[in-house]
Amino acid sequence: MQLKRAESVLVVIRDERKQVLIMQRDDDANFWQSVTGTIEVGEIPLNAAYRELAEETGIAMPKSTHPILDCRLMNQYKIRPIWLYRYPPGTEFNNEYVFCVKVPAGLPIVLTEHTDFNWTSKQEAIQRVWSKTNRDAIAQFVPD
């Protein structure tokens, strides 16, 4: 297994009806989240956001018509102990760059790394997602 870099993206997805997409991780049924993923070597965070959005949901929107917004926020959080083996020895914290995107309602979702998904209200998404940084991003960047 190749070790992960401690830099990732978080992409909050909402549709035209102000519904937020959340997905259930396949390795933890209680862990719901927005799109997340490691930034690859040589990749800029915005390109990682587009790549992860397409990989995890099947949503590949043209940048010209559906741009992903850089929220200009970088979170640093302590990596869950059960995931530390995925990172180089001594790594404790991850830097997470936050993005959001508005997509048309009714887009088909193709899951590759999750077992389920839901389009929910902003408040329900805040209640259901596992991580504090994900809750905060939804609260801050999804309009009421």
Query: What is the DSSP track for 6-72?
Result: SEEEEEEEEETTS-EEEEEETT-TT-EESEEEEPPTT--HHHHHHHHHHHHH-----TTTSPPEEEE
**Any binding-site annotation on 56?**
yes
- Quick one: tokens of 12? 């909050």
**Any binding-site annotation on 113?**
yes
**Any binding-site annotation on 132?**
no
**Any binding-site annotation on 36?**
yes
138 vs 19: CA distance, rounded Å? 11
112 vs 19: CA distance, rounded Å? 21
**Any binding-site annotation on 4?**
yes
List residues forming the annotated binding site for Mg(2+).
52, 56, 113
List residues forming the annotated binding site.
4, 25, 36, 52, 56, 113, 131
List residues forming the annotated binding site for substrate.
4, 25, 36, 131
